């Protein structure tokens, strides 16, 4: 497992580690205690990935376009 705190990971880092965790759990070749720790880390990684995706979606949704569809800037996310 990575020593990087989950909250400091990029989406790509979290997704990569989540894939490793899932692979280990699917193989079933780890002790029960380690499986539990892997599952808990996996849950945190999944939550991080979801948060980063939501963040990206909000940024994309805030992009404003002109009449021709060309990006012109961003709009405040709170609608103000």
Residue 1 tokens read as: 């497992």
**50-59: b (≥16 Cβ within 10 Å) or e:** eebeeeeeee
**How does pLDDT run across 40-66, given as a tens digit for each residue?**
999 999 999 999 999 998 888 777 777
What DSSP letter does each residue of 51-72 carry, written as one string?
Answer: HHHHHHHHHHHTEEE-TTS-EE
**45/5 Cα distance (integer angstroms):** 10
pLDDT tier for residue 26 given thresholds of 50, 70 and 90 = very high
Write out the two tokens for 43. Answer: 């849950």
Report the predicted TM-score, pTM, of the whole model to 2 decimal places. Answer: 0.76
């Amino acid at each position: 497992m990575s020593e990087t705190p989950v909250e400091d990971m990029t989406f790509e880092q979290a997704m990569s580690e989540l894939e490793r965790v899932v692979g280990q759990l699917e193989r079933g070749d780890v002790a029960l205690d380690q499986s539990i720790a892997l599952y808990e880390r996996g849950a945190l990684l999944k939550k991080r990935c979801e948060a980063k995706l939501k963040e990206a979606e909000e940024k994309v949704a805030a992009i404003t376009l002109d009449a021709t569809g060309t990006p012109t800037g961003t709009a405040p996310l709170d609608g103000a």
